[in-house]
């Protein structure tokens, strides 16, 4: 099937990534979902449901927000079957998942990298503003995992203190946009850069335990210097007033 490996836009600047990249992101994202389903000992419906959420949820959020170019999961003849098939295969043959060790961690960040790539690219193809392109990359990258956590009754991972989860999608989206839109780099190399930045940031954060901050209150750090400055101004004005009233040879006393 030749069109499976060819871009779907003839325009030079708006040449989309090959369709197999979208499908690869769906399969990898679905695989990450079934790993979670296996760890929770869900039934076949749970496997397929998490596969659909993780494989297609981010793209659905992106397409609803963009309202351009149709909904990928409905337009593609491969997306939904591939996601469902991934869930069913994992349900009936779970041993590879049990022996995979930290497979979830690698699948998760690889899926985020692929989704950030295709999300940024689709917004770029349709001529969105830079900030919008980057936002679409982030939402596509973390949307599926966010829906997965919501359906499992947990606080979404992107809202918790973690090792640069959403920020990895941000870094990959920015790298891809700058490479393709600003530096006019071939989309193949731009895609490789996006994947490298996203996965590299995640592995770096895990290696050195770099986490996003939480429970920060900058109020005392800002208010205290302001109060000291205000007190200094009041004392200076009081001394200046006493100096004017008593003359230059009288030493003013400090206020209590």
Calculate the alpha carbon distances from 216 to 38, 163, 189 in Å. Answer: 36, 17, 39
Angle, vertex CA 202, rays to CA 98 and CA 200, nearest 5: 110
> What does pLDDT average to over the chain?
84
7-63: pLDDT as tens digits: 333 343 455 677 888 898 999 999 989 999 998 999 999 999 999 999 999 999 999
On whether the pTM is more than 0.85, the answer is: no
214 within 8 A of 208, measured Cβ to Cβ: no
How far, CA to CA in Å, does 52 sit from each of 18, 31, 86, 141?
21, 10, 9, 15
Give whole-number Cα distances, 173 to 136, 157, 224, in Å.
Answer: 9, 19, 39
Structure confidence by residue, pLDDT tens digits, 70-87: 899 999 899 999 999 999
Q: How confident is the model at residue 163 (pLDDT cuts 50, 70, 90)?
A: confident
Give strand ranges (E) for 179-251.
none
Question: pLDDT-derived band of residue 142, with 50, 70 and 90 as boundaries?
Answer: very high
User: What's residue 174's pLDDT?
Assistant: 96
Of the pLDDT bands very low, low, confident and very high (cuts 50, 70, 90), residue 217 is confident
Q: How far is CA 178 from CA 60, 109, 121, 124, 166, in A?
A: 25, 21, 12, 11, 19
């Amino acid at each position: 099937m030749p069109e499976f490996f060819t871009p779907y836009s003839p325009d030079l600047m708006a040449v989309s990534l090959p369709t197999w990249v979208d499908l690869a992101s769906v399969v990898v994202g679905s695989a990450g979902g079934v790993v979670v389903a296996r760890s929770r000992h869900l039934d076949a419906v749970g496997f397929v449901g998490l596969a659909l959420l993780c494989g297609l949820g981010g793209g659905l959020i992106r397409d609803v927000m963009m309202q351009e170019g149709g909904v990928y999961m409905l337009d593609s003849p491969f997306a939904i079957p591939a996601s469902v098939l991934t869930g069913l295969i994992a349900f009936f043959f779970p041993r590879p998942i049990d022996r995979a060790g930290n497979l979830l961690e690698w699948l998760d960040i690889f899926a985020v990298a692929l989704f950030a790539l295709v999300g940024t690219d689709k917004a770029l193809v349709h001529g969105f503003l830079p900030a919008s392109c980057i936002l679409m990359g982030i939402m596509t990258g973390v949307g599926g995992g966010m829906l997965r956590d919501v359906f499992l009754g947990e606080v979404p991972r992107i809202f918790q203190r973690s090792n640069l989860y959403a920020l990895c999608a941000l870094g990959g989206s920015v790298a891809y946009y700058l490479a393709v839109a600003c530096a006019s780099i071939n989309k193949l190399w731009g895609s490789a850069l996006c994947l490298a930045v996203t996965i590299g940031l995640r592995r770096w954060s895990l290696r050195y335990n770099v986490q996003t901050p939480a429970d920060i209150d900058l109020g005392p750090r800002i208010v205290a210097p302001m109060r000291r400055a205000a007190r200094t101004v009041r004392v200076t004005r009081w001394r200046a007033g006493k100096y004017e009233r008593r003359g230059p040879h009288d030493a003013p006393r400090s206020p209590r």
